[in-house]
A = this chain, B = another copy of it.
Amino acid sequence: MKDTDVMMNQAAVVLKLLGDKTRLTMLKILDVHDCCVCEFVEVFTMSQPSISQHLRKLKDVGLIQEERKGQWIFYSMNKNSVHYTLIRPLLEQLPNQSYKIKELERSGKRILCC
């Protein structure tokens, strides 16, 4: 298969991941804030396994990375990912989602660890 086909395939795979409201919002948030799973469970009204599965998909393509901090596993944007260049201009055009994190802080549910 041609090089360019491989690139088109990879772009399609990444864009399919962004084509889900939950994951898209996660990425917009992670572009600014590191977050752990239980925070996302609060932000999205969704079960913990569902959140875990979304995060796994993003991790599997290398868009995000995880780091354990004590009890929690924090996810962050992998800005060195080969795909970050592709999605960055996209994320820039999306409305800021930091208010969701501020709401967490207000309700005392933001995890400030270590």
Residues of A at the B interface (CB closer than 8 Å) are 3-4, 7-9, 11-21, 24-25, 28, 85-86, 89-90, 93-97
Contacts of A15 in B (CB 8 A): 15-16, 18-19, 24, 90
Does the CB pair B93–A86 fall under 8 Å? yes
Closest to A9 in B: B21
Contacts of A12 in B (CB 8 A): 18-21, 24
CA distance A97 to B12 in the complex (A): 14
Contacts of A20 in B (CB 8 A): 12, 16
Q: List 8 A-B contacts (CB under 8 A).
A: A4-B97, A7-B94, A8-B25, A8-B28, A11-B90, A12-B19, A18-B19, A86-B93
